[in-house]
Amino acid sequence: MALIVQKFGGTSVSHLGPIRRVARRVKAELDAGNQVAVVVSAMAGVTDQLVGWTRDMAPNCDTAEYDVVVSSGEQVTSGLVALALQRLGIDARSWLGWQLPVRTSASHARARILEIETGDIRQLMETGGVPVVAGFQGLSPEGRITTVGRGGSDTLAVALAVALEAARCDLYSDVTGIFTADPWIVNNARKLDKITCEEMLELASLGAKVLDPRSVRMALRHRLPIQVLSSFADLPGTLIEGTIITDVWGMPLEDDVEHNMVTGIAYSRDDAKITVVRVPDKPGVAADILAPLSEAGINIDMIVQNVSHDGKATDITFTITREDAERAIDALRKEQDTLEFEKVLSDSNVAKVSVIGVGMQSHAGVAQTMFSALAEQKINIQVISTSEIKISVLIAEEHTERAVRALHAAYRLDEQ
Ligand code: ASP
Ligand code: MG
């Protein structure tokens, strides 16, 4: 017998029909002899609508009241799922975040989960019942309703699984698993049976929208296996488990050498490229340029400094999220006189395409394969960044699909 947390996303609870299907899923897990705790999202589209209403009422609204409004979607689905379970003869009961409670920080709209009290739901599970917990929400130290940020039900489910010391957290949505690339772009993309937590973290952070990266980070930290699967198909999903095992020198152990060079391709269109033109070429300027940005709380992703031709001035290019582009330019322009650069350019017509794989630590030629595949497509690489298990390149946005397809083929990801 195992304890499993099942989380159902917005499409899995979008209408009464899918909700009945969810109830049958939960029952199947109980019938298999397991204990189940359920976490639910709001019906698909509902949170967006609630957010819209708060914006229309007051553009920069009181975030405590924002949380009261936007958390309500999960109240509806938690009750409906409990009702659907009761109709199958299961002793089910809903819990809102404040009722458990899910204790969070006070930062409304993006609260951090601190602690989850599980006494009451454990009791119900021990007698064969099923608790249905509203996702996305918690209780602040001041006793007010909080939400944990958009897409935060994944993280809440993982946090609950950790608190319950569950054997696994199953995240249900309308996709059947994690694919080697976006199946909407690459028609022979392959569903992965398994992927390491580290690879999943890179994939999720680099644009694969299936999972909230925060949930993967939490699962990795607590060594909790998670599974991504569809509530609409009776198929096994993708198991996200384990971690890269290395020897004392940091080299991957034998098992991992068998790994493919590359596991998957991700892309994102969320970045903007900023170029600071003709910055004095002397020690310390890169730090000076980035200072106003870090003061403004703007995160920098990729960076290149171009070689200077005359030894006097150089260009520095970096990427940030598109949302931050205007603020970044303002912050830099304010310091233009002290920083002595000529001008700032920004370009949002870019995409970041990344190849990810644990196996790249033990295979030579991964970058070379990537760059030649792109060169063959005559796609220009603007910026490059790497980590131990990923290589990302920035390219013009219009080439995104072509780049993803070319890379998928170059690493033969359609083959098992
Ligand atoms: N309903 C919330 C959202 O749409 C939380 C979630 O589903 O993860 O952001
Ligand atoms: Mg979601």
- For a substitution probing ligand 1, which of 11, 14, 41, 147 has the most ligand atoms within 8 Å of its CB? 41
- For a substitution probing ligand 1, which of 74, 153, 212 has the most ligand atoms within 8 Å of its CB? 153
Q: How confident is the model at residue 194, as a pLDDT?
A: 94
Residues 165 and 253 in one domain: no
Residue 219 domain-assigned (yes or no): no
Ligand nearest to the CA of 134: 1
Residue 318 domain-assigned (yes or no): yes
Residue 205 domain-assigned (yes or no): no
Q: How confident is the model at residue 267, as a pLDDT?
A: 96
Residue 242 domain-assigned (yes or no): no
Residue 314 domain-assigned (yes or no): yes
- What is the CATH number for 144? 3.40.1160.10
Range of the domain at 169: 3-174
Residue 192 domain-assigned (yes or no): no
Distance 358 CA to ligand 1 centre (A): 30
Q: Is the CB of residue 47 below 6 angstroms from any atom belonging to ligand 1? A: yes
- What is the CATH number for 327? 3.30.2130.10
Residues 158 and 275 in one domain: no
Residue 69 domain-assigned (yes or no): yes
Q: Is the CB of residue 205 below 6 angstroms from any atom belonging to ligand 1? A: no
Among the three residues 174, 202, 223, which one is the final residue of a domain in this structure?
A: 174
pLDDT in tens, 355-408: 999 888 878 899 999 999 999 999 999 999 999 999 999 999 999 999 999 999
Residues with CB under 5 A from ligand 2 (ion): 9, 151
pLDDT in tens, 88-132: 999 999 999 999 999 999 999 999 999 999 999 999 999 999 999
Distance 40 CA to ligand 1 centre (A): 9
Q: Is the CB of residue 110 below 6 angstroms from any atom belonging to ligand 1? A: no
Q: Taking all residues of the chain, what is their mean pLDDT, rounded to a whole number?
A: 93
Residues 164 and 257 in one domain: no
Residues 125 and 255 in one domain: no
Q: How confident is the model at residue 257, as a pLDDT?
A: 47
What type of residue sits at position 264?
Answer: G
Residues 252 and 162 in one domain: no
Q: Sorting pLDDT into bands at 50, 70 and 90, what band is 206? A: confident
Among the three residues 114, 140, 174, which one is the final residue of a domain in this structure?
A: 174
Residues 298 and 167 in one domain: no
pLDDT higher than 70, residue 245: no
Of all residues in the chain, what percent carry a pLDDT higher than 90? 86
Q: Sorting pLDDT into bands at 50, 70 and 90, what band is 413? A: very high
Residues 122 and 264 in one domain: no
Q: Answer for the pair 346, 325: CB distance below 8 angstroms, yes or no.
A: yes
Q: Is the CB of residue 147 below 6 angstroms from any atom belonging to ligand 1? A: no
Number of domains in the chain: 2
The more confident residue out of 33 and 248 is 33
Residues 269 and 403 in one domain: yes
Among the three residues 159, 174, 189, which one is the final residue of a domain in this structure?
A: 174
Q: Is the CB of residue 268 below 6 angstroms from any atom belonging to ligand 1? A: no
Residue 384 domain-assigned (yes or no): yes
